[in-house]
Structure 1
Amino acid sequence: MQERVIVGIDVGTTKVCVLVGELDRDGKLNIVGVGTCPSQGLRRGVVVNIEETVTSIAAAIDRAERLSGKHITTAYVGIAGSHIESENSKGFVAITPSHRDIVQNDICRAIEVARAIAIPANREIIHVIPRGYVVDGQEGIKNPIGMSGFRLEVETHIVTGSVSSIHNLIKCVQKAHVEIEDLVLEPLASGEAVLADGETDLGVVLVDVGGGTTDIAIYTDGAIWHTVVLPIGGNLITSDIAIGLRLPFAVAEELKVTYGHCDPSAIDDDDMIDLAQFMPDCNDLVPRKLLAEIIQARVEELFEMVHDEIKKSGYDGLLPAGLVLTGGTAELPGILELAGQILDLPARIGVPLGLHGLADSICRPAYATAVGLLLWGLTHSSLTYDEEEGQQADRGTMLSRIGRWLRSFIP
């Protein structure tokens, strides 16, 4: 009896993370392989050096394969970067013959109308996500199949990206000898891992603060409403520390991770950091409160930018489920309280839950995107576990990527 294997590859600015998951007959997702490697060749989520990026991806894949004992040939891959843009679009079609039951083909036609937006030649559609349907003026319909009507309307969330950035990422993964099952916008993947249905129904903002970017996704009425990727992340905090304390970047990063805090008032005035533990030839002492002041200033700036994006979405003051903060930088002490204060929202840290196998090692915000890629694969793949045969059953071998994707949203 074979178990279904799904692989997620999170190609981040600071690290590449590869997760290998198995879905058993009981529906449990077991993490059987984890491979991480420092990321080289990316800047703010975008590939700037193909060979370095390929080397990083290949190293992470090799570690995951050694741990899991699986040979990785396909994967779901996360994409982010400041080139990402999104907008909401509507499409409607007439039901012919009039007033017959709505079928899957009607939904596909409406979605195709919605995706027919004018975009520049240097941009490409990554996702077209149905948010909800309207049948003859009746709103709030999640699944219109089987309903009778004359007119079907769909509201979609469309995510686009730079053609060159998308293709460079694809090229890097393929050069590491892995074919891409699907490209997934990273905040959507993170949302799969850390958000509850009740939160997305009420209205929630997910903020994934990585090394090079901050990914924002606003959900309401159970669906995505607004996505954006800001070109600022944990690396800029590290840069400020390096400049302010005149330290090498690598030492500044270790200082941030080991002693960083976002609230200077929580640090004693006489609490000093001995730099000799990071640089043996240096005998200087650094006040930990000064380090916290530098971090606080940059984190405040970051969440002011997040606040501006929430205002642009039109949902400022309309997110009762509050803020879910995730990503590697979310592990900084004091960041949750500062973020909640600036955004004036209830806040919690988002960690991936409900996993098995090697789950203990990845139940951290830094792994939210990678775990979300596995969950996205479970939800949106054309493969399903066939209990009678005890093996994988392919329900859509000849379907295109777009066709497979549409099936995942339509029963």
Structure 2
Amino acid sequence: MQVHDKLLVGLDVGTTKICAVVGEVSGGEINIIGVGTHPSIGLHKGVVVNIDSTVESIKKAVEEAELMAGCEISSVYAGIAGGHITGFNSHGIVAIKGSEVTRHDVERVIEAARAVAIPMDREVIHVLPQEYVVDEQSGISNPVGMAGVRLEAKVHIVTGAVTSAHNIVKCANRAGLDVCDIVLESLASGEAVLSDEEKELGTALLDLGGGTTDLAIFSSKNIKHTFVLALGGHNLTNDIAIGLRTPLAEAEKIKKKYGTCTSMNISSEETIEVPGMGGRKSRKLPRQILGEILEPRMEEIFALTKREIHRAGMGHVIMSGVVVTGGSALLDGVPEIAETIFNLPARLGTPRGIKGLVDVVNNPMYATGVGLVLFGAKNQSSKKFRIRDKNIFNRVIDRMKKWFKDVL
């Protein structure tokens, strides 16, 4: 197999599936040349709970992507999600050295903005600049070269549990992969499914995954707020299993084949066959029952997300509406429920801005994988390469030593 320097690989480590998407940079465009998926066994609500099972799933997804792309994969951009993810806004101010703003000044003001106290069991995943202010002139996206004496930066900081981030890197390393960077999954999905106009005007992106629902609010082309709700497609499957008294595996199949969130639009004559538990006979039930089970749960997910948007004071920011993506967004009637709950226009988000295997990845379930490739293309110059050998406990001890030194 060939090894390409211009290959970018997104690894979506999800609760339901592991997905590897291979993209090739050619003439400033991204060509998707390979996709591999495999059911995810070792994760729960976006967090690794079984290292060995996760490693096996990653290996199989990557092998499938390698076969399709005809290349060897050595490094990936990995996605991270889960209830441990938190985001908050911060502000930094520095004096400008010299008569104009330099790249070094921008780096210093971002460091000043990220110099906030966070618990030792958490680490900063992203520091996302929102805007710069030069001598009280706000709304600046790139201040380099501007004259001034004071530079301010408003940033959004995303943090996650140190152990969760380390476990994702550990699983990828055991599967023979280097991790260029860990990327918040909702940020990656935004790269894939949102247009520049939506990011500019203000949009709420909801990534409906298997274990979590990830919210990202964009405005003025920057991310303003992030939130992870620990409810997702698995809760819908569980509701079907309980409501129809059928095994979870069968409930998942029923959800994918017949799932709907709007019982009003279904004919009362439509029926589904529901396998029984413990060797009991199958039963035929009206398909409307599925709508009656799934609709309240989907309404709850959207209502809790809406409450978070208003709690964060972001209700006035979402001018262009709501975009729903992720595997669970494929259920019939999801955009309609989103429109009703948010009282805003809603649409289904599928990957855009790519070439190659467009017909293969033209599906909300591939939004994060494609988004990770696009994120990698934008940030190739700042590859971090999460080092394999630096032990998590050494890092915690280093931070404790520094803390005691500061105190004493």
Same fold? TM cut 0.5: yes
What amino acid is the match of 1:282? K
Structure 2 Cα separation of the partners of residues 194 and 69 of structure 1: 27
Q: Which residue, 3, 6, 10 being the options, matches 1:4?
A: 6
Partner of 2:164: 165
| Residue deviations 1:75-101 (CA, integer Å, cap 9, x gap) | 10000000000100000100124xx01
Q: Distance in 2 between matches of 1:316 and 1:357?
A: 37
Letter in 1 for 2:207: D
User: Retained in 2: the 8 A contact 1:101–1:145?
Assistant: yes
Change in 2 beyond 3 A, CA 1:3/1:162: closer
Distance 2:291 2:340 in 1: 17
Structure 2 equivalent of residue 391 of structure 1: none
Structure 1 residue 378, shift from structure 2 partner: 0.5
- Counterpart code for 2:23: G
Amino acid at match of 1:18: A
> Matches of 2:164 and 2:89 in 1, distance apart?
22
Following TM superposition, by how much is the alpha carbon of 1:270 offset from its aligned partner in structure 2, in angstroms? 2.5
> Structure 1 residue 340: deviation in Å?
1.1
> Would you say 1:44 and 2:30 are equivalent positions?
no
1:389 aligned residue: none
Question: Quick one: which amino acid aligns to residue 18 of structure 2?
Answer: V
Structure 2 residue 285 is the aligned partner of structure 1 residue 283: no
- Matched residue, 2:24: 22
**Identical amino acids, percent of aligned pairs:** 49
Amino acid aligned to 1:12: G
CA distance in 1: counterparts of 2:94 and 2:217, whole angstroms: 28
Q: State the shift of 1:280 in Å.
A: 9.7
CA distance in 1, matches of 2:42, 2:313: 36
Name the CA distance, whole Å, in 2 between partners of 1:117 and 1:358. Answer: 43
Contact 1:193 1:352 in 2 (8 A): yes
CA distance in 1 between partners of 2:241 and 2:277 (Å): 13
- How many angstroms apart in 2 are the aligned matches of 1:401 and 1:42? 23
What residue number does 1:63 align with? 64
Quick one: structure 1 residues 161 and 2, their matched pair in 2 at CA, closer, same or farther if it must change by over 3 Å? Answer: closer
Question: Alpha-carbon deviation of 1:325?
Answer: 0.6
Contact 1:103 1:146 in 2 (8 A): yes
Please state whether the residue corresponding to 1:119 is helix, strand or coil. Answer: coil
Q: Does structure 1 conserve the Cα–Cα contact (< 8 Å) formed by 2:244 and 2:274?
A: no
Classify the secondary structure of the residue corresponding to 2:110. Answer: helix
Cα deviation for residue 124 of structure 1 reads 0.3
The change in CA–CA distance for 1:335 and 1:400 in structure 2 (over 3 A counts) is closer
Q: Residues 372-401 of structure 1, C-alpha deviation per residue, up to 9 Å, x if partnerless?
A: 00000110012xxxxxxxxxxxxx7xx856
Contact 2:246 2:276 in 1 (8 A): no
What is the SS of the residue equivalent to 2:216?
A: strand
* Mapped partners of 1:223, 1:139: distance in 2: 14
Question: Which residue matches 1:315?
Answer: 314
Per the alignment, in what secondary structure is the counterpart of residue 294 of structure 1? helix
What is residue 106 of structure 1 aligned with on the other side? 105
1:141 aligned partner: 140
Seen in structure 2, the aligned counterparts of structure 1 residues 50 and 401 have a Cα distance that, compared at 3 Å, is closer
Task: Report the Cα distance in structure 2 between the residues aligned to 1:75 and 1:314, rounded to whole angstroms.
Answer: 35
Q: Is the 8 A contact 2:246 2:274 kept in 1?
A: no
The answer to whether the Cα contact below 8 Å between 1:186 and 1:369 also exists between their aligned partners in 2 is: yes
Q: Is the 8 A contact 1:53 1:172 kept in 2?
A: yes
Alignment partners' CA distance in 2, 1:375 and 1:68: 17
* Post-superposition offset of 1:23: 1.4
Report the 3-state secondary structure (helix = DSSP H, G, I; strand = E; otherwise coil) of the residue aligned with 1:211. Answer: coil
Cross-structure match for 2:95: 94
Give per-residue Cα distances to partners, 1:142-177, cap 9 Å, x unaligned: 111110001000000000000111111110111000
Aligned residues between the structures: 384
SS of equivalent residue, structure 2 residue 256:
helix
Q: Are the equivalent residues in 1 in contact too, given 2:237–2:255 (CA < 8 A)?
A: yes
Distance in 1 of aligned mates of 2:132 and 2:275: 62
Code of the residue aligned with 1:380 in structure 2: it is N
Worse-superposed segment, 370-379 or 354-363: 354-363
1:103-143, Cα deviation, whole Å (9 max, x unpaired): 00000000000000000000000000111100000101111
CA contact (8 A) 1:234 1:329 kept: yes
* 1:301, distance to aligned residue in structure 2 (A): 0.7
Give the equivalent residue in structure 1 for 2:359.
360
TM-score computed with the length of structure 1 as normaliser: 0.90
Q: CA deviation at 1:268?
A: 1.7
Match of 1:54 in 2: 55
Q: Which amino acid aligns with 2:357?
A: L
In 2, are the aligned partners of 1:251 and 1:278 still within 8 Å (CA)? no
Task: Find the counterpart in structure 2 of residue 390 from structure 1.
Answer: none
Deviation at residue 332 of structure 1 after TM alignment: 0.5
Q: Is the 8 A contact 1:206 1:216 kept in 2?
A: yes
Q: 1:356 deviation in Å?
A: 2.0
Contact 1:3 1:23 in 2 (8 A): no
Q: Is the 8 A contact 2:178 2:385 kept in 1?
A: no
Matching residue's letter, 1:15: K
- Counterparts of 1:275 and 1:301, CA distance in 2: 25
What is aligned with 1:406? none
SS of the aligned residue for 1:348 comes to strand
Q: In structure 2, the residue corresponding to 1:374 is in which secondary structure?
A: helix
In 2, Cα distance between equivalents of 1:20 and 1:279:
42
* Paired letter, 1:75: V
Q: What residue number does 1:238 align with?
A: 237
Q: CA deviation at 1:29?
A: 1.5
Contact 1:43-1:212 within 8 A present in 2 as well: yes
In the alignment, the residues of structure 1 paired with residue 184 and residue 29 of structure 2 have an alpha-carbon distance, to the nearest angstrom, of 24
The residue number in structure 2 matching 1:376 is 375
| 2:85 corresponds to 1:80 | no
Secondary structure (helix, strand or coil) at the match of 1:333 reads coil
Contact 2:325–2:365 under 8 Å retained in 1: yes
Mapped to 1, the partners of 2:75 and 2:215 lie a distance apart of: 27
Displacement after TM superposition at 1:43 (Å)? 0.2
Partner residue, 1:33: 34
Structure 1 spans left out of the alignment, 5+ residues: 383-395, 403-411
Structure 1 pair 267/308, CA: closer, same or farther in 2 (3 Å)? same
SS in 2 for 1:88: strand
Q: CA deviation at 1:326?
A: 0.4
Match of 1:221 in 2: 220
